[in-house]
Amino acid sequence: MGSTSSTLLKIPNVEVLMQETGFSPAHMIRLHDRFKALDKEGRGHLCPQDFGAIKELAMNPIGDRIIGAFFCPGKETVDFHTFVKILAHFRPVDKNRPKEPNSPEPINSRSNKLRFAFQLYDQDKDGKISRDELLKVLQAMLGMQVTEEQLESIADRTIQEADLDRDDAISFEEFRKSLEKVNIDHKMSIRFLR
Amino acid sequence: MAFLQQFALLLALLIVFSTSCKAAALEVDSVEVGHNYSSKSTATEDTSTSTNNSTDGQAPSSITTLPIVIWKWHHVETPYLVALWILTCWLCKLVCELNHNVTSVIPESGLLIILGFILGGIVWGADKAQTFKLIPVNFFYYLLPQIVLDASYCMPNKLFFSNLGAILIHAVIGTCWNAGTVGVALWACYEGGAMGTLNIGPLQFLLFGALMSAVDPVAVIGVFEEVHVNEVLYILVFGESLLNDGVTVVLYNVFDAFVSLGGPKINAAEMIKGIVSFFVVSFGGSFLGVVFAVLISMLTRITKNVQVIEAGFIIVLGYLSYLTAEMLSLSAILSITFCGVCCQKYINANMDEKSVITLRYTLKMMANGSETMIFVFLGVSAIDKTIWVWNTGFILLTLFFVVAFRFMGVFFLNWVLNKSRLIPIDIMDQFVMGYGGLRGAVAYGLAAILDEKKIPEKNLMLGTTLIVVYFTVILQGISMKPLVQWLKVKKATQSDLTLNGKMNNRAFEHILTAMEDICGRMGDNWWTRHWKHFDEKYVCWLLMKSDAREHNDPIFGAFHKLNLEDASKYITEGERKGSLAFIRNYDSASVDFKKKLALEYADIMPNIMADISEYDFGIDNVPVNSVMKNTIPSVSLDIHEQDRNRSMPNDLSAHHILDQHLYKSRRDVRTNPDEMQEIFQRTMRSRLESFKSAKMGVNPAKKLSKHPKKDSTHKPNGKPADPHRTHPFGDEDFEFSADSASSSEIAGHFPRRSTNAPGAGVDNPAFIPEMDTSPPIAQGRLPWTPTNLRRLAPLRMSTHSTDSFAMADASVDDEVPEEKPGTHHTKL
C-alpha cells in the first residue's frame, strides 16, 4: 500500500479535509480505501447503486434515507470530500478541544449530529418534521408490528410531546429540546479505526 | 412531637429486644439440655425415641390434671426468635428512616450498623455472650440470594452488556490484583516486624488478601442508592461487585486448599489447577445461570392459568440456581446473576402485567429486608469480646493497603481501558470508582468460615475484616455524597419516558448501523445487530409466548406505558375536581396532555415504578401482552370503545380504574351504588345549571346546593373555556344505572323550576327524533356532554322537560324512544 505519506498525497485536498473534519491521517487512509472499494467502477465518485450494493444497508429500515443524506440536493454523485464530511458527523466529540471563539462549530459537535438526524426525518427540507414525515419514519421502523391506527396515535403523541409552539410539526429547536437529556455522544458516534 | 415518637419507637424496640433476650436466656438452659439430648440421639438410634420424649420438656407422664394453658416455648423457639429478630431489624430501619436529614448525611447502611452496635450491646449486657451473630450459613443461604436476584432482575441489560468488557476486566484482573497485593504487602510488613509476633505464614496472608478483596454488592447498593451518579459509573462499580464473586470464590478456595496442603506441596501443577478452576467456576456458574433462565422463561410460557403464583416460580427457580451452583462448588452469585439478567426480558413479556408488578415488588421487599438484616447483624456481631484480638499494626496496615491498592488498580486498569473505549471514562469518575470499592458482609462471611485449626489467627482476621467493613461502609459511605458533589461528577439524568426518546433511540441505532456498514467495519453495533437478529428469530421463538412476541417492541411498549400513565393522571385529576371532568367534544375525543399538566399533578401521580427504573438506563421491556387483548390504541381515550370491549375478561388495572367512573351500562354492578347515586345527582344538578345559564342567564336556584368542586373553571386540556359550549361544572359522565326511584326523586325537583322559566314553547315531538338517537348513543357510544344537552335544553320549557332526563336516565336497555311523551306524566 505504500507508505502513509505517499498514500495521503494521492488523496486530493487531504490537508483541508483533515482540518475540517478532524480525522487523523490514519482515518483518512482507511476511509479512502473504503471509498475506493465501494467505487467499483473506479469513477472517483459514488452513485446510489454503489451504496445499494452494500447488502446490510438494504435491510436497514431507514437505509434509503441515509443513502439519500449523502447526496446533496440535485447532485447524483458523492465524491470523496462529501463522503468524508458526512462521516465526520460520527466522530466522538472531542472533549479537550480548545474553544476558539471565531472558528466554526466542528462537524461532530452535538448540535450538528442532531441536525444530521433531523434532516433524515425532514425529507422535504422545510425545517420542520410534519406529521406525515414522522408517520413515514415510524412506518419504516415499526411497520410490521403495529396497526395503522396505532401508528397514527404514536405519531400524534410524539408530536404532542415535542411540539411546544403547537404548530403540529417539530422544528429543529423543539427536536433538540426533546433530546436534551439523551447522551448524544454515546448514541451518535462510531469507531473509525480498528 | 417527632422526638416523642422516635423515643417511643426506640423504647418499643428495646422492649421487643429484651424479651427476645430473656427468652434466649430462658432457652439457653433448655438448649444445652436439648443439645445434649439431640447429640445423643444422633449417636444412638435406640435411645432416640426415648430421648425425644424427654426433650419434650416436662414429660407428659408427670401431669396430674388437665392443664388449660401450657407454656410451649420449646415448640416455637426457633421460628419465634427468627421472626422476632426480623421484626427488630425492620423496626431499626423504621427508626433510621424517620428523619430524612439524617439519612441524607449518613447512608442508611451506616445507621443500621450503629443501631446494631446498640442492640449487640444490650444482648451482651443481658447475656454476657453474643448469642446472636451473623452466622455465615444464614447469610450465604438465606440472606444473600434474594439481594442478588433482585439486583440482576432490575439490571439495565443494555448498559450492562455494552460495558461488559470493562466490567469483566475490573472484576477479574482488579480483584486478583487487590488480593495479591494486599496479601503480599501485609506479609512483607510482617516480615519487617511491623506486627509483632503472629502465628501466620505467607499463604495465610494471601488467603486473607483474597477474602478482603471482594467489593461487596450489598454495600455498593446501600451507599450508591443515595448518591445518584451517572449510569456508566454506576454500572461499572455495581457490575464489578456482582461479577467478582467468581474470582473471590476461586481465590478463597484455592488459597484455603493451599493452606491445608501446606507450603512444600505447592508446585506448578497445583497452580495450574488453580487457574483452571477459575475458568470452570466462573463460566460454569454463569452457564448454570443461563440454563435456569431458559427454564424460567419456558415455564412462564405456560403459566397463564396460575397467574396467582406466577411470580413465585421465578423466585423459587432463582434460588434453586443459587443452591445448585453452590452444590457443584461453582460460583453461586454468578449463577443467580446471570439467571436474573437473562430471563428478564422474556418473563416480562410472557407474564401478565400484574404478575410482573408483583414480582418486582416482592423481590424489592425481600432484598431490602435482607439488606437491613445484614447490616444490623454486622453491627451486633461486633459486640463480642471473644473475637477481638487487637493488633494495631495489622489492622492499620490492612486498611491502608486495601484503600491504596484499590485506587492504584482502578486507575491503572481504566488507563488501559480508555485506550480502546469509544467514550473514555472521566478521571473524576475513576476516582469515585476507586472510592466506591466497599467491602461488606461477603468478606465478613468468608472470614467467619475460616477454620481455626488451620488458621490460628482467625479472630484477628475476623476483627480486622469487621473494622475494614465498618470503615468502608460508614466512613466512605458518609463521605461519598459530598465527594461526588465536590468533584462535580456527572449525576444520573432523570429522564422521563418519552416516545420521542424511544423513537429517536431506535433511529440512532439504525443510523449507526448503517454508518458502520458504509464504513465496512465490524463495530459494536455489528454484534448488537446480529444478536438482536438471532434473538428475534430463535430465542424469542423458544422462550416467549407467541402473542407476546408480536408485540415485543420497545416503542410500542413505551407508548403503552405512557397511555397507562395518562389514564392514571386523568383519573387523579378528575377525582380531585369531584368527578371525572371528561371529554369536551365527543366527535374528536382527543386528550391534550401537555407537559405542564404533568408537572402540576406530578405529586399526586402514583409512583408505580421502582426507584432505579425511573432513571432511564435503557429499560425497554414493558409487558405489552395486555394491550393486544383490547383494541384501544389511541391516546384519545376512546371511552366508548372500552365499553364495547367490556366482555374481555382481563382488563388492565388502569382500565379498571377508568371503569369505575366511566359511563356504564346498567349491567355493570361493580361500582358502589351510593357512589353512583351521588354522581348521578350531581350530574342532574349540573345539567339543570347548564340549561339555565345557556338559555336564560337565570341564576341557578339557591336551593340546590352547588357542588363546590365544580366551580373551578380549570379545564384539563388547557383550552380556554368555551362559554357557549360548556357549562361551569365541566362535563360529567352520567351513571345511568339509577333506578326509576331516584329519577323520580330528582324529577320531583323539577316542577319548582319549570314555573319560573318563561320561554318559547318548543315542540316536543320535534325533539323526540333526537331523543331517539340519544339512548342508543348513550348505550354504546357517548358520554352525555353538554353539546347534546344543549339540544335538549328547550325541552324543559314544557312539563315534559323532565321526560328527557327520565328517559335518558332510565334503563339504557329499554327501548325508550318509542314511548310517547304523554305516558311520562305519571313520573312527575
The pLDDT tens digits of the residues spanning B661-678 come to 444 444 444 445 566 666
CB atoms within 10 A of CB B536: 13
DSSP letter for each residue of A24-63: -HHHHHHHHHHHHHH-TT--SSB-HHHHHT-HHHHHSTTH
| Contact (CB<8Å) A90/B500 | no
pLDDT band at B402; cut points 50, 70, 90: very high
Q: Give the total number of structural domains in chain A.
A: 1
B340 has pLDDT over 90: yes
Query: What is the per-residue DSSP string for chain A?
Result: ---HHHHHHHSTTHHHHHHHH---HHHHHHHHHHHHHH-TT--SSB-HHHHHT-HHHHHSTTHHHHHHHHSPTT---B-HHHHHHHHHTTSPPPTT----SSSPPPTTSHHHHHHHHHHHH-TT-SSEEEHHHHHHHHHHHHTTTS-HHHHHHHHHHHHHHH-SS-SSEEEHHHHHHHTTTS-HHHHT------
pLDDT attached to residue B148: 92
In this prediction, residue B819 carries a pLDDT of: 41
Indicate which of A67, A182, A188 best probes the interface with B, i.e. most B CBs within 10 Å of its own CB: A182
CATH number, residue A126: 1.10.238.10
Residue A76 lies in a domain: no
| pLDDT-based confidence at residue B817 (cuts at 50, 70, 90) | very low
In a domain, A143, yes or no: yes
The tens digit of pLDDT for each residue in B162-197 reads: 888 899 999 999 999 999 999 999 888 888 887 777
B539 secondary structure, DSSP code: I
**Chain A contact set for B519 (CB, 8 A):** 31, 34, 87, 190, 192
Question: A190–B516: do the CB atoms touch at under 8 Å?
Answer: yes
The neighbouring-strand residues paired with A78 are A46
| B230-244, B477-491, B628-642: range with lowest mean pLDDT | B628-642
Gyration radius from chain A CA atoms = 19
Q: How many CA atoms lie within 13 A of B212 on its CB side?
A: 35
Closest in A62, A145, A179 to B510, CB measured: A62
- Give B323-384 as a DSSP string: HHHHHTTS-HHHHHHHHHHHHHHHHHHHS-HHHHHHHHHHHHHHHHHHHHHHHHHHHHTT--
A164 inside domain:
yes
Contact B556 A150 (CB under 8 A): yes
What is the number of other CB atoms lying within 10 angstroms of the CB of residue B772? 14
CB-neighbour burial class of residue B96 (10 A; exposed 0-12, middle 13-18, buried 19+): buried
Residues B791 and B780: their CA atoms lie apart, in Å, by: 20
Q: Which candidate, B134, B107, B108, B132, places its Cα nearest to that of B120? A: B132
Containing structural domain, residue A116? 108-184
Average pLDDT of every residue of chain B: 71
Going by the DSSP 8-state scheme, the letter that residue B436 receives in this structure is: T
**Cα B477 from Cα B223, distance rounded (Å):** 6
Span B123-170, pLDDT tens digits: 888 877 777 778 888 888 999 999 999 999 988 888 888 888 899 999
Nearest by Cα to B601 from B565, B626, B549:
B565
Of A62, A145, A150, Cβ closest to residue B507: A62
In a domain, A26, yes or no: no
CA-nearest residue to A147 within chain B is B633
What's the mean pLDDT in A14-28?
80
pLDDT attached to residue B614: 42
Torsion of CA B670, B674, B677, B682, to 10 degrees: -120
In this prediction, residue B624 carries a pLDDT of: 41
Most confident range, picked from B280-294, B685-699, B778-792: B280-294
Average pLDDT over residues B789-810: 45
Which of B767, B527, B423, B647 shows the shortest CA–CA distance to A184?
B423
Mean pLDDT of A144-156: 80
Confidence of residue B6 (pLDDT cuts 50, 70, 90): low
| Cβ A115 vs Cβ A184: under 8 Å | no
Q: What is the pLDDT of residues B438-483, one digit of tens each?
A: 998 889 888 888 888 888 888 888 889 999 999 888 888 888 888 8
Q: How many helices (H) and strands (E) does chain B have?
A: 36, 0
Q: How buried is A193 (Cβ within 10 angstroms: 0-12 exposed, 13-18 middle, 19+ buried)?
A: exposed
Between CA B166 and CA B160 the distance in angstroms is 10
* In the predicted structure, residue B812 carries a pLDDT above the cut 60: no
Domain assignment present for residue A83? The answer is: no
Whether the complex's predicted ipTM is more than 0.95 is answered with: no
Contacting residues of A for B491, CB less than 8 Å apart: none
Given an 8 Å threshold on Cβ–Cβ distance, is B514 in contact with A37?
no
Report residue A129 as a C-alpha cell: 418534521
- In-domain check, residue A133: yes
Decide if B495 and A178 are in contact by the 8 Å CB cutoff.
Answer: no
Q: Which residue in this structure is represented by grid cell 412476541?
A: B549
% of chain B with per-residue pLDDT over 70: 61
| Residue B100's pLDDT band (cuts 50, 70, 90) | confident
The answer to whether A188 contacts chain B (CB < 8 Å) is yes
Q: Which of A78-87, B307-316, B528-537, B709-718 has the lowest mean pLDDT?
A: B709-718
Q: Which residues of B384-417 are buried (b: 16+ CB within 10 A; e: fewer)?
A: beebebebebbbebbeebbbebbeebbeebbeeb
Q: In this predicted model, what pLDDT tens digit does every residue of B690-724 receive, in sequence order? A: 666 655 544 444 444 444 444 334 444 434 444 44
Q: A161 CB near a chain B CB, below 8 Å?
A: yes
pLDDT band at B632 (very low <50, low <70, confident <90, very high): very low
A119 inside domain: yes
Spatial separation of the C-alpha atoms in residues B409 and B401, rounded to whole Å: 12
**Three-state SS string across B773-819, please?**
HHHHHHHHCCCCCHHHHHHHHHHHHCCCHHHHHHHHHCCCCCCHHHC
Residue A96 falls inside a structural domain: no
Calculate helix-pair angle for A25-38, A80-88, nearest 10 degrees: 120
What is the pLDDT at residue B695?
57
Is the pLDDT at A157 greater than 70? The verdict is yes
8 A C-beta contact, residue B621 and residue B349: yes
Q: What is the mean pLDDT of residues B767-771?
A: 43
Q: Is B770 within 8 Å of B792 (Cβ atoms)?
A: yes
How many Å lie between the alpha carbon of B98 and the closest alpha carbon of chain A?
33
**Cα dihedral sign for B11, B15, B16, B21?**
positive
Q: How far is CA B714 from CA B83, B586, B596, B728, in A?
A: 52, 19, 13, 9
Chain A stretch 137-156, residues whose beta carbon is closer than 8 A to a beta carbon of chain B: 137-138, 141-142, 145-147, 149-150, 152-154, 156
Which of B508, B616, B633 lies closest to A150 in CB terms?
Answer: B633
